[in-house]
Structure 1
């Protein structure tokens, strides 16, 4: 039985930093098992944060330059992590940081050059997990559902609350998944207006009340009416959501409270639309799972038909990094790691590019 020793790297749209998870992953009796051995989160310095936040406006030359320098930075952070814990590593699997996501144009881009990570660490790297699916006519997203199927199949629904909310579930042995819509991206945008990285435990949101006009505008965004497969990125947020926030003259507390209710309203609609059984369980991970006001609001909206499961903090915070580690293993073994039922591609694929260190 081969145990793959692999580090998963993840930087999400909420821009709260880089997650590193050193995992042991192995196959047993036709199923996949994991053990998260070590983890680390690296906050972005203000300069890096601002650069990543504004990548949408970079020139092509500056974007490629960032692709390379950010790749080196990822490699350096990974090397520090390895040295801190004296880790024995077979591979590194890196998602990179999404700067552009326009699947309707056949376009997605994640900065963080795999070759630069490999050269900085001296370890083989699997990166660029999305491009192949785009080339096959898919959305290139979401990717995490392969891990939901192989690692977390005991739950009826898997919900990730990162910068955006996405959901994953099985229908007649077919995995369905898509971006529901907003999550931490809108909450963090609002808190940064008062120089807060995020609203801890949702305490500011809890103190507010609903702004009905803003709530209705958010609920009526066209994206929510589109059929899946579908996914959204920062461009959509800037174009469609930011104007609603900026046109709403209200307190930070009310803006946050309204946003939390909107997020939970849209999640609840999707759970009810895809009702599985009266004892169904919803696993929630991602930074939003740590927002107690958001979780309480969601539980109230869902009622008794759905049990909300918030797992151990290590799973909440590092599930995505873990699953990119799994995707790296599947790529090495030439097994399917991207599901066409999720992305809308012509077929399932084995995605990711292998980079050898020099």
Structure 2
């Protein structure tokens, strides 16, 4: 008897370095929109792992290869513990985003570490990973990848906005899915709160006590990236080159940096999202109440937030779905989104070596 569902573990590690998001999700084969997240969990990074991942961008190729193996081993152990703790019995495959270390598609490369073969060997499960490299080879940005999930799983929304390390958006226009990175969010905010010993600004309380630095805000809003046409994507390299130096030159007070940057994010989001739209907001930034208030103000929208589970785990869910599409050899990477020469089915498949 044929099974009428897929049961998949999805893994996501974002640029904000909060931790590893895991979901165990069931998809109906006859209608993908009929899905259920059965279990979910976030495994916070230890101080050692956060430092390793933060500094990975500076490593030599040889050391990156070693880190890829070390991180793949770590992910395999994390997944095995998740399987045992949740009592999971049936797994069709694991879909892992990995952790993005390098992303410069205009120079022809992107790198997500987290060795797929090691994860497969440790878990004894089929693993799909490395969803971005093929798109870059096809001339695309290799990002964003979530829009195919937005299109097929959340078609009842006009816009899907994720407020994570970066803000990104996807929407339908002239029967094509368009998507791009809007601006940095938590990758910047959390970097400055960590300078004063806080992992993040709880609810945006610290930001709300700061003052807007108008000169800094204007300079940020005039960065060339915001005038560029889509497809376009952002990486840590861009933030290090253009954003951090600007902020450090023009403002020293941490609350005022946070306040100014939240205003910047809200302005950039409002430049994309139309007033009357029905918008799905997800990602860790949703829990920054002050940020959401500023987005409401600038977009003139009533912001209705989805269930916490979807806010927290949408990206891990969508990577599980990308794996499903790859297994079925269906399109999971849209040329209209990434700028690649064609739609394609992306991701490397690994089987355990017994």
- Relative to the length of structure 2, the TM-score reads 0.97
The alpha carbon displacement at 1:197 in A equals 0.8
Matches within 5 A, 1:1-358: 2-28=4-30, 31-87=32-88, 88-271=90-273, 275=274, 279-303=276-300, 306-358=301-353
SS of 1:142's partner is: coil
The alpha carbon displacement at 1:32 in A equals 3.3
Please tell me whether the aligned partners of residues 332 and 344 of structure 2 are also in contact (alpha carbons under 8 angstroms). Answer: yes
Unmatched tracts of structure 2, length 5 or more: none
SS of 1:36's partner is: strand
Please tell me whether the aligned partners of residues 281 and 307 of structure 1 are also in contact (alpha carbons under 8 angstroms). Answer: no
Please tell me whether the aligned partners of residues 209 and 254 of structure 1 are also in contact (alpha carbons under 8 angstroms). Answer: yes
The alpha carbon displacement at 1:245 in A equals 2.0
Q: Separation in 2 of the partners of 1:140 and 1:99?
A: 13
Q: Separation in 2 of the partners of 1:281 and 1:75?
A: 38
Q: Separation in 2 of the partners of 1:121 and 1:353?
A: 17
Q: Separation in 1 of the partners of 2:193 and 2:149?
A: 31
Structure 1 segments of 4+ aligned residues over 4 angstroms from their partners: none
SS of 2:211's partner is: coil
Q: Separation in 2 of the partners of 1:32 and 1:350?
A: 19
Q: Separation in 1 of the partners of 2:106 and 2:146?
A: 20
The alpha carbon displacement at 1:262 in A equals 0.3
Q: CA RMSD in A?
A: 1.1
The alpha carbon displacement at 1:25 in A equals 1.0
Unmatched tracts of structure 1, length 5 or more: none
SS of 1:179's partner is: strand
The alpha carbon displacement at 1:21 in A equals 0.5
